[in-house]
């Protein structure tokens, strides 16, 4: 498997782990267990790193089009929104309702826009 394929598989696997750990956290409630919270946090950070590396390397192989940059930026920003809202929900007890709502929406937007960007890369032949 090439590096880019490995990254696509790793990003997908990370999303599965993040969502499962997120549902776990929502189910057990406060105080959040150290293991599910750390798993949730570190896989979300790993996802950002893997996604940025994938985009940077794809651009190095052949310059991304404006549309591809926009799709990548939307995916990156929504991932960041999921992380920031998750951070606020964790840090404040009780979590502000608006941030909790944000953290129930942003993850789906992030997952969808990341998947859409990867499909776009695949259509453009960037995934080999
Ligand atoms: C890629 C980034 C992230 C994604 C996709 C994501 C996804 C999710 C999902 C799907 C849930 C379940 C929501 C529900 O249905 O109630 C959840 C819950 C949660 N997440 Fe995240 N999350 C991300 C990042 C983070 C980070 C960085 C933190 C903490 C620093 C965090 C803290 C939490 C907490 C505390 C809950 C439980 C909220 C509750 O009380 O219902 N998340 N997350």
- Per-residue model confidence as pLDDT tens digits over 89-112: 999 999 999 999 999 999 999 999
* Distance between CA atoms of residues 99 and 92, nearest Å: 10
Residue nearest ligand 1's atom 31 by CA: 86
User: CA-CA-CA-CA torsion for 61, 64, 68, 74, nearest 10 degrees?
Assistant: 90
Q: Sign of dihedral through CA atoms 94, 96, 97, 101?
A: negative
Atom of ligand 1 nearest to the CA of 104: 13
65 Cα to the center of ligand 1, angstroms: 32
pLDDT given for residue 21 in this prediction: 98
Task: Return the CATH number at 75.
Answer: 1.20.120
Domain contains 83: yes
pLDDT value at 124 more than 80:
yes
Please, are residues 114 and 75 in contact by the beta-carbon 8 Å criterion?
A: yes
Q: Would 112 be classed as within a structural domain?
A: yes
Domain count, the chain: 1
- First CA to last CA across the chain, in angstroms? 10
pLDDT tens per residue across span 13-68? 999 999 999 999 999 999 999 999 999 999 999 999 999 999 999 999 999 999 99
Give the pLDDT of residue 1: 78
Q: Is residue 96 part of a domain?
A: yes
pTM score: 0.95
Q: Supply the residue whose CA is at minimum distance from atom 6 of ligand 1.
A: 107
Q: Is residue 128 part of a domain?
A: no
Note down the domain range covering 19: 3-123
Q: Is the pLDDT of residue 83 over 90?
A: yes
Q: Which residues line ligand 1 (CB under 6 A)?
A: 18-19, 22-23, 25-26, 32, 40-41, 44, 47, 79, 82-83, 86-87, 89-90, 103-104, 107, 110
Distance 114 CA to ligand 1 centre (A): 17
Integer Cα distance of 75 and 106 in angstroms? 11
Tell me if 81 is assigned to some domain. yes
How much distance in Å is there from the Cα of 87 to the middle of ligand 1? Answer: 8
């Amino acid at each position: 498997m090439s590096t880019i394929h490995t990254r696509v598989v790793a990003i997908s696997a990370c999303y599965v782990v993040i969502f499962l750990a997120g549902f776990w956290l929502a189910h057990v409630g406060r105080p959040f267990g150290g293991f599910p919270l750390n798993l949730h946090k570190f896989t979300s950070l790993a996802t950002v790193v893997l996604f940025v590396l994938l985009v940077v390397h794809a651009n190095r192989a052949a310059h991304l089009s404006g549309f591809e940059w926009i799709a990548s930026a939307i995916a990156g920003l929504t991932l960041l929104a999921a992380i920031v809202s998750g951070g606020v929900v964790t840090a404040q007890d009780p979590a502000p309702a608006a941030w909790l709502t944000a953290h129930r929406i942003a993850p789906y937007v992030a997952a969808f826009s990341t998947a859409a960007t990867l499909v776009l890369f695949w259509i453009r032949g960037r995934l080999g």
